[in-house]
Chain A
Amino acid sequence: MIAAVISLGGIGLSAAVALGLAAKKFAVESDPRELAVLETLPGANCGACGYPGCSGYAKMVVSGDKLAAVCPPGGQEVMEKIANIMGFAPITTDPQVAVVRCQGDNAKAKLKYTYIGVTDCVAAQKLADGPKLCPGGCMGLGTCARICPFGAIEMTQENLAVISREKCTGCGKCVASCPRQVIELTPLDATTHVLCNSHDKGALIRKYCEIGCIACQICKKNAPDAYVIEDFLARVVYEHHLETGPGVEKCPTKCIRDFAGGYPQGSSFAPPTCAMPPQKVA
């Protein structure tokens, strides 16, 4: 009994001493600021900054003499905290939010064929350019929703991706994952968007979608500065996003949406609260 206690205790004691010495001798010098920076970061490891995860970003911040890249999910708040830790001049960021430029769910847009296979937009796109007649619309198989590190994307019952303006941090992972480039990063304060991604002519669009942009120019006529029509598709000029109101009202297909008034049909997200109501510029 005593022999066992002594031998085991002895082994434990000598191992503890050896470990203690090794920890002193082989200690890795680490910058305490790196840990502090890492703690302020959102920790989603989304890679939106261009570095491998949050620790990669923290390492970059500590090794440089100024901030070389912005952490989009962190936004202004995190950038200021990091600037304080490091003693750099803070860089300003314009908060961005991703928008799905399509409202043509299965109830509104027609299908080319019935897709049976892997529930993945990239796989579906390879099969005759996707199951939708529209070449640019959301296929609704949820590749973006699965990739979003913040759970900001939901798929509606009728297979349309909708992005929460509160939860989205603008990291851009969904933008890269979408095989049809339906998702776009836009300034957070601009709440009005043309939700269509088809460059087909109006007559063709009417055949396959109820809610597509037919490039009728009515929005541009009512708000000349706020809209441009490029290649048969209207777009909001975000510098003039406060003047888009008349275009939203007059759009005949209702493909222009002001998110302040709610999300596309079928979404369970509550109308955004952070979105500022449009204000007239003095």
Chain B
Amino acid sequence: MKLKTFPGGLHPPDNKQWSAHKPIETCPLPAELIVPLSQHIGAPAIPCVAAGDVVKKGQVIGEAKGFVSVPVHAPTSGTVAAVEDRLHPMGKALPAVVITPDGDDAWGELPPPLDVQSASVNELRDRLRDCGIVGMGGATFPAHVKLSPPEEKPIHTLILNGVECEPYLTADHRLMLEEAETILDGIAILQKILGVKQTYLGIEANKPDAIALMEKACAGRDIEVVPLEVKYPQGAEKQLILAIAGCEVPSGGLPMDVGVVVQNVGTCAAVADAVLRGIPLIERIATVSGPGIKEPKNLKIRIGMPLAHLVEQCGGLNGEPAKIIMGGPMMGMTQLSLAVPATRGTSGLLLFTAENVPLRPEGPCIRCGRCVRACPAHILPTTIAAYARLDLFEEAEQFNAMDCIECGCCTYSCPAALPLVQAIRHAKGAILAQRRKV
């Protein structure tokens, strides 16, 4: 049977065998937790604790500001050591609440569990906001916003994203194997909020055990498990919709324009915890892997754990790291140091040593067209990048630079080692700045 997929894309060596078979381990608490107040797309949270305050696990330490924003919670019980600027995964020093754990890990007062059948949609949505639920695939978009489609755009399809197409990462894979029931509870809540008719769960075919297990668990639940071709970026929202629902999100549009909402399986588990148990988003699964680490693992981490602590739990470093990546190797963010804390979007921590990061000198474009063939957004990366380098941003926009999803397939496939996606991102930034000005 031919598996469903999208045109374009490629398959980098995925190296998932390093951690795919390893059960999730709970990471012990570090000496200090650094909880950034900006862990989601939207306005940063406003701190509501001060240095010296005693906080309980799950207590709100930063309040949401505006609709596209979520609160931040204390990941453990302890004392607030400081509210100050700390190095953030974005590479800048941003406000964070620093907590010294007291070791008790005692829960504070949690909101009561909601009954999915009797609770209203608004109650459920408010609960997700109050518990700080964001998209756990890495983009960290507040879930309650995604689940509040305007009336003129009815949603008929919910797609769950268990694709995990980024190389090395196995966090969602392990989550599906170990916490299938929690994911299904979360799916039921999302189905109720959106009132959808169809629900699909997309999983890449390189996880046959997860596909079999989820198919068994979904039996009789109105959820269809869709095995997908092993190809990057199969897990990108628009590519996933094209593969499963067969419709293309219009240029500049959102999935809701075609009546679809996509949520990550990790988000489903967090949704279930929030609604059924009142537990805010203070934990997540992250894969620590790469040739720079002694023992790759899947860890259940608290938000705010310094990356150095995760490294310690995995047997330490294999030599001096030349590159530290938070997230996957294709779209993850390179980090300045291991002092950076893990956030809600930390799906993985990858370490590479100097011999694994080959630096080829940049050459001239040989017009081979590999980037064009690989581009899942069907744009012309080499043309847009050439315009971007000449600061001709209007021309770049005419060639649909804004449709770039920044997956990095073009840069990966380029035999001349041109920084294509970097140039396109540069153009996108300039185009957005220009739009803001007008």
Listed in ascending order, the chain A residues whose CB lies under 8 Å from chain B are: 112-113, 116-120, 122-123, 126-129, 147
Contacts and interface: CB of A to CB of B under 8 A. Distances in A.
Contact of A120 (B336, B359, B389): B389
Given A123-B426, A126-B429, 9 more contacts: A112-B336, A113-B334, A116-B419, A118-B388, A118-B389, A118-B419, A118-B423, A123-B429, A128-B91
B336 A118 contact: no
B422 interface: yes
B336 A117 contact: no
Interface in B320-359: 334, 336, 359
B216 interface: no
A118 B429 CA distance: 13
Contacts of A116: 359, 419
A117 B419 contact: yes
B436 interface: no
Contact of B92 (A118, A119, A129, A147): A129
B414 to A, nearest CB: 13
B389 A127 contact: no
A120 B426 contact: yes
Contacts of A127: 91
Given A118-B389, A128-B91, A113 B423 contact: no
Nearest to B419: A117
B68 interface: no
A48 to B, nearest CB: 18
Contacts of A126: 426, 429
A113 B422 contact: no
A127 B89 CA distance: 11
Contact of B90 (A122, A128, A147): A128
21 contacts: A113-B334, A113-B336, A116-B419, A117-B422, A117-B423, A118-B388, A118-B389, A118-B419, A118-B422, A120-B389, A122-B429, A122-B430, A123-B422, A123-B423, A123-B429, A126-B426, A127-B91, A128-B90, A128-B91, A129-B92, A147-B391
A123 B425 CA distance: 8
A83 B80 CA distance: 69
A136 to B, nearest CB: 15
Contacts of B91: 127-129
Contacts of A122: 426, 429-430
Contact of A128 (B336, B389, B430): B336
A123 B429 CA distance: 9
Contacts of A113: 334, 336
Nearest to B423: A118
A270 B359 CA distance: 36
A112 B391 CA distance: 26
Contacts of B423: 117-118, 123
A113 B336 CA distance: 7
A118 B426 contact: yes
Most buried by B among A112, A120, A123, A126: A123
Contacts of B429: 122-123, 126
A128 to B, nearest CB: 2
Contacts of A129: 91-92
Contacts of A117: 419, 422-423
B263 to A, nearest CB: 29
A113 B430 CA distance: 23
A122 B426 CA distance: 8
A129 to B, nearest CB: 6
Interface in B393-423: 419, 422-423
A128 B359 CA distance: 21
A187 to B, nearest CB: 30
Interface string B143-174: 00000000000000000000000000000000
B391 to A, nearest CB: 8
Nearest to B385: A118
Contacts of A119: 389
Nearest to B421: A117
Contacts of B336: 112-113, 128
Interface string B73-103: 0000000000000000011100000000000
Interface string B179-200: 0000000000000000000000
A116 B92 CA distance: 18
Contacts of A128: 90-92, 336
A116 B425 CA distance: 14
By Cβ-Cβ distance, the 9 closest A-B pairs, closest first, are: A128-B91, A117-B422, A123-B426, A117-B419, A118-B423, A118-B422, A118-B426, A118-B419, A129-B92
A141 to B, nearest CB: 12
A117 B334 CA distance: 13
B15 to A, nearest CB: 22
A129 B423 CA distance: 17
A191 to B, nearest CB: 32
Contacts of B334: 113
A122 B419 CA distance: 15
A112 B91 CA distance: 10
B349 to A, nearest CB: 17
A187 B334 CA distance: 42
A117 B429 CA distance: 15
A268 B336 CA distance: 35
A15 to B, nearest CB: 37
A91 B26 CA distance: 76
Nearest to A130: B91
B252 to A, nearest CB: 22
A123 B393 CA distance: 13
A118 to B, nearest CB: 5
